[in-house]
A and B are shown apart, each in its own frame.
Chain A
């Protein structure tokens, strides 16, 4: 199903979701792993103690960096160059691919080993390398599985989340030419042996970048398998692709990110390997690449700069916590989103990077706006609000559905006036008589079709609240008691405080 990227624009999110909803293997696998990850995150953040303070610190670091992105990018580039790194800027995906391919050709590379990188997925770099006869091998276990299956990642950090052990055993058995037992150790053992050869023969090591440190020009990788260490030490040439927003100012800021990211992603207190790479091999280094390139990719990111509704998207640290928390993602998996990035972040990022509200925005509708993504986000990106802004931009750009638009006009005409609302309810109370059975409606027709496929719709009672209001008020007052003077005083104080500009919050947590 490498069709996800190419075929997505022809199909709708609804059609793609249908495939997932009817795939019991997928739903079980995704549910199993996201539940494990989010409960891990929950206990790791509770154990941390000051989680919300650190989230706010993380948010402030990201807000500050993105607000001064030009400054920090230049600082990073200058320092990285001083370390001997070749820095390239690519405005588009085409440009980034061209730069990477030119390096590969100049090095007469035959094979590239890759550590996990979402930005290379975004660029479809493996396909491009293949087109010039360079073999690209994914060395992250999940990515390797996906590559063998000819698919794209369905999760930002767990690319093969939608596959179970047995499916993986089948894929690896085909590669091995013998039947491998569906046992994690046996399967991982096979991949380890296989990849070891690939590491040794590769001409180029290719990585993504979790964070780029402006003050030192270092690029930092978080990983659990040690494959990124291999990729950045064995081959003679290293190419790193990084989104232009991966920057943070200093190593001090990295401490905050290193606290937030692994806990949010997998519930780990620390990632197993955290490597900071500051330039190619020096003369007294035992290993490392002789030549190191960093390609800084824009590809639609800078469109968010200066857009007050979407700039915070660039704060994302790609932990995947929003996917694990999302109830929609849990039921439909990542491929249903149709882009490189899935889940709530993907539903917003894909249209934003493409500056495209007409074609991609149907994924913005695949959300109940429950806000679980926002709550899970370690840097507090308001994805649930952004989804609404995307929907609004579609309507404002004239790409809204005609039927829905007419419906909403009707809605505001009725709901903009209490008398009209009352008349509509009277018509409803009368009209429903044909379809109400035992106080409920089971009819599967028109707008009730979807609802009543899973539910019984309630019927309208004989009297609305406003019909009953006068009687209820009179009756309640007869049985009522006087207001406690202390409460009265408190209420007056609240009103007074409000007039002086305070009094928000209401004692809640928000």
Chain B
């Protein structure tokens, strides 16, 4: 299974046949911090991903300004 991480565009090959929740745990990601997308559909932690899938994991937490700048 090909896993593409955004916005870094890093790619990793992982074994499929597991739930999305397990996949996130393996990657040490918390469920409320990423969108997991397959074939343009969002997956829940209970969905199962397979070896032949390409899965996009999109980080939703952004860094904002380096200096305290409430407008960024």
Query: A and B from one assembly?
Result: no
Q: B residues engaging A (CB < 8 A)?
A: none
Q: A residues engaging B (CB < 8 A)?
A: none
